Amino acid sequence: MNENLQSHGTVDVGGMWGDPMKLSQAAAQYATDAWQRSLLYADIRRQRGNQYREHLAEEVPNVLSFRAEIVMSGLDLPRPVNYGLARIAPMEGTVIDPAKRPFIVVDPRAGHGPGIGGFKPDSEIGAALKAGHPCYFVGFLPDPVPGQTVEDVMRAEAQFVRKVAELHPESRGKPAVIGNCQAGWQILMTAAVWPELFGPIIVAGAPLSYWAGDNPMRYGGGLMGGSWMTALTSDLGAGRFDGAWLVQNFENLNPANTLWEKQYQVYADVDTEGPRYLGFEKYWGGYVFLEGREMQYIVDNLFIGNRLATAELTTSDGVRIDLRNIRSPIVVFCSHGDNITPPGQALGWITDLYRDDEDIAAHDQTIVFATHDSIGHLGIFVSGAVGRKEHREFAAHIDIIDLLPAGIYRAEIADRPAGVPAQDLTDDAYLMKIRRSDLAEVRSIVRPDPESERHFAAAARVSEINLALYRNTVQPWVQALSTPLSARWLQAMHPLRVGYECWSDSHPLAPVVAQAAEHAREERHPVEPDNPFLKAQQAMSQAVVHLLDTYRDQRDAMQARLFHAIYGSPLVQALAGQSRQDDGPPRPHPGESPEHCQYMRQELARLHESVAQGGLYEAVIRALFHVLRARGEADERHFRHAWRLLQDHLGGVPPDMAQFRRIVRRQALLMQREPDAAMAAIPRLLAASPAADIRWGMTTVDELANQGGNLSDAEHQRLLHAMGHFVQALEAAESRQAKEQAERPPAIAPASVAEPEPAPLTAPVTASVTAPSAAPLTAPVAAPVAAPAAAPEPAPEPAPVPDSAPAAKRPARAQASRAHPSPRKKR
């Protein structure tokens, strides 16, 4: 507490007693300021109540700051739901490129109303629009359709994605989907059942492994005895679960903010905080309902059962919901400052599903994760700073992410380094790097604890027992006594709703306070910042926050100890069917079906056959994988430069994103499985290419490898090794061309002296070089990023460069004048 007092300065009470006049003046100034602030604060709270009532009266309440039009309503589907798809109108001055893939932002239905993904101009929707992408929004009505289920919502979301794809046939990629919090796991469940519909998926603050992390909320279900309380709440609500109870759980996580800090901040800065406070309270107080069966499924199977991360869920028609089926890149964005979805819960599904990195490659899955150091849960998808940085970079580089081969990557977004020209970047303020990661790094963040999971498994079993007891004994009586009228009264008396309802223009004192506040606003006399009484107020506030934070920490620690004491006891574990002699995992690891094993054997056989298949662009991609594998990362400059080189060489050939993505991923898998054979086959890939094309390929590999920094010794040796294969093919091509020239009739000999233009590309190869869009950072060279770190070093020694090629360390200008361009090593 002393530290908190000192942080706001020292209150010089002793000095004031020596000057009574100064003390009285400071006291009078503070009293006037405090009284005016009290009136203005009360008036802001009055406006909050009015806003709450007006928001509830809206037909489709939301907090979007963008104009939108309904495209498709979930009420019209064969299995209706209260969700809808809306098209977002671009902001003034924003140019939308119809060739770019559309974005779909899906908001969480976790107690609040929709719109948080587009709450501000600098938001997920704003970032997608500024990057030139068409944008759509999936929201929902406050009341669910009676009888709707989680599976019904999944089917509706699949229909929405399908509809957006139909509206953009000219798009070079499938729709990218952003799922916030609860919407994140629901979108991944949908993509696991209908993987062919989705482009890259971004999940922000989405819990997927509910027993992981250090979130104190994970103990709540066990300490209440399981999900029977969820069933009771839904029964008392006449079949609907009141989302205000979910919001209450969030509020309880941080009592200092709920009970004091949020309100004090408005009081202390009452002249400026009003608009921000009212804007947030419009979202925070927009409570919605969930269907009782829908909420029960979520609590039983996800929150307490934790069955999503081990592929134990199935649809009504028997389809397993296995996240390993997703073929689109998955971007996981989480924060260490998030106490609702910490990084452990956001990333734990990866360690739950996969045993090692080989397992991830075998399932052809791409996972990119990014962590923030301090932002809170809502800040992940509503903070303007995050919207201007992380979400804008994700949107600008979504095509790069879509091209990453199978494996785990870490995205890092930093301020633009000194010496990097702003024109080299998409956003002149930030530089995005993507580096190869692995399961070990994810495991170090998640920190799996088998003993702790055993306790949660016992809690899940006890929850099933208590729920069955409730349903067989008490539930029939509760349902018989509950009516829609009683449910409405219980909802109106919820403590959070009372806080909004009790103070608005409907209160008899409201006109008096409003008039007094208007007078205070006109005669405002704020106190000086160095007023000793103001400093005492600030010190007192910090003391209150410190006291409530201490209470919170002690409460959370006590709940954790109590949970583990109860569900770690031999008696409770025995009742849950656990034995002390059990040495197996507390949860079954998702196994491999015979069909998948057979499929992988066939894929590996086809992969082996494709070692010598391809052409110039497959050779360039292999060489880049080989050279930059030692680096393990690339930044956006590699992709920008690659796009410029390929565009110059293509000469306007229309791109085919899906085909190019398949080629890049296959070459990456080849370089991981059979690196030596793949590199040795480069001369065979180039056998039909003209010498000019081979020289272009060598120059491209050299420039891209040297882009963004000096080559290390290992990278330089790999570049020499790759160039040796190109030189071998170049000599064969020049020999072949010389022979063809000598065999030509003399009459046409003069015309054949000129070096031939690059041969036209065949259809498959043409597709392989295309880039996803005309954006500067389209990603043909995602290949260097994806260089597998675990692949073995190539066995053969680097092929010698013939004497006709210049030395590797010659300047680029000198190399360009020679027939055989060779790699350079930057100093």
What value does the mean pLDDT take over residues 568-590? 85
Better-predicted residue by pLDDT, 613 or 565 = 565
Q: Report the C-alpha gap between 524 and 345 in whole angstroms.
A: 48
**Cα diameter, the chain:** 115
Rounded average pLDDT over 663-683: 86
For residue 127, give every residue at least 6 positions away whose Cβ sits within 8 Å of its Cβ, in sequence order, or none: 387, 388, 391, 392, 394, 395
Average pLDDT, integer, range 53-68? 89
- pLDDT at res. 759: 41
Is residue 261 classed as helix, strand or coil in its secondary structure? helix
What sign has the CA pseudo-torsion 55, 58, 64, 67? negative
Is there a contact between 128 and 175 (Cβ–Cβ < 8 Å)? no
pLDDT for residue 420 is more than 90: no
* Most confident of the following: 337-346, 623-632, 769-778: 337-346
Q: Where are the alpha helices (DSSP H) in 447-531?
A: 450-473, 475-481, 484-492, 495-501, 510-522
CA distance 283 to 262: 15
pLDDT of residue 810: 34
**780 in helix, strand or coil?**
coil
Distance CA 346, CA 129 (A): 26
Residue 155 confidence (pLDDT) above 70 = yes
DSSP state string for 611-647 = GG---HHHHHHHHHHHHHTTT-EEEHHHHHHHHHHHH
pLDDT in tens, 225-242: 999 999 999 999 999 999
Distance of alpha carbon 439 from alpha carbon 416, whole angstroms: 29
What secondary structure letter does DSSP report for 314? B
Angle at which helices 450-473 and 532-567 cross, to 10°: 80
Q: Judge whether 361 and 786 are in contact, CB under 8 Å.
A: no
pLDDT of residue 84: 96
User: Coil, strand, or helix at residue 301?
Assistant: helix
Q: Is the pLDDT of residue 778 over 70?
A: no
pLDDT tens for 3-52 read 443 444 444 555 555 678 888 899 999 999 999 999 999 999 999 999 99
Q: Is the pLDDT of residue 789 over 90?
A: no
**Predicted pLDDT of residue 697:** 87
Task: Determine the distance from the C-alpha atom of residue 498 to the mean position of all C-alpha atoms in its chain, rounded to a whole number.
Answer: 35
Q: What is the pLDDT of residues 361-410, one digit of tens each?
A: 888 899 999 999 888 888 887 776 776 688 888 888 888 888 888 899 99
Interval 772-782 mean pLDDT: 34
Q: Please report the pLDDT score of residue 639 as a whole number.
A: 58
Which amino acid would we find at residue 115?
Answer: G
For 814, the token pair is 């000198």
Angstrom distance (rounded) from CA 631 to CA 417: 19
Phi/psi of residue 73, each to 5°?
Answer: -110, 135
pLDDT at 27: 92
Is the pLDDT at 688 greater than 80? The verdict is yes
Model confidence at 173: pLDDT above 80: yes
Mean pLDDT calculated for residue range 566-595: 83
Q: Is 680 exposed, middle or buried (0-12, 13-18, 19+ CB in 10 A)?
A: middle
pLDDT at residue 653, as a whole number: 47
Give the up-direction half-sphere exposure of residue 71: CA atoms within 13 A in the CB hemisphere: 22
Phi, psi of 140 (to 5 degrees): -155, 160
State pLDDT tens for residues 89-115: 998 888 899 989 999 999 999 888 888
Return left, alpha or beta for 448; rule: phi > 0 is left, psi -120 to 50 is alpha, else beta: beta
> Going by C-beta distance under 8 Å and a sequence separation of 6 or more, which residues neighbour residue 304?
210, 221, 222, 226, 227, 459, 460, 463
Residue 21 burial by CB count (10 A; 0-12/13-18/19+): exposed, middle or buried?
Answer: exposed
What's the whole-number mean pLDDT along residues 304-330? Answer: 93
Nearest to 108 by CA among 343, 313, 378: 378
Q: C-alpha distances in angstroms, 509 versus 38, 502, 513, 515?
A: 15, 11, 6, 10
Q: Which helix (H) or strand (E) is 582 found in, with range? A: none
Number of H helices, E strands in the chain: 38, 13
CA distance 790 to 656: 30
Are the CB atoms for 612 and 681 separated by under 8 Å?
yes
715 to each of 178, 338, 786, how far by Cα in Å?
Answer: 37, 39, 15
φ, ψ for residue 435, nearest 5 deg: -120, 155
Tell me how far the alpha carbon of residue 280 is from its chain's centroid: 22
> Computed from CA positions of residues 787, 790, 794, 800, in that sequence, does the dihedral angle turn out positive or negative?
positive
Average pLDDT, the chain: 83
Integer CA distances (angstroms), 22 to 27, 30, 31, 525, 526, in order: 9, 12, 14, 18, 17
DSSP 668-705: HHHHHH-HHHHHHTHHHHTTTS-HHHHHHHHHHHHHHH
The model's pTM is 0.83
User: Is residue 773 very low, low, confident or very high in pLDDT (cuts 50, 70, 90)?
Assistant: very low
Give the contacts of 785 (CB within 8 A, at least 6 positions apart): 400, 404, 409, 434, 435, 436, 628, 633, 634, 638
- Measure CA 421 to chain center: 28
Which residues, 6+ apart, have CB-to-CB distance to 375 below 8 Å? 335, 337, 338, 383, 385, 386
For 713-758, what is each residue's pLDDT tens digit? 888 888 899 899 999 999 998 888 888 888 877 655 554 444 444 4
**Which of 142, 85, 148, 88 is CA-nearest to residue 112?**
142
Cα–Cα nearest to 355, from 599, 590, 672: 590
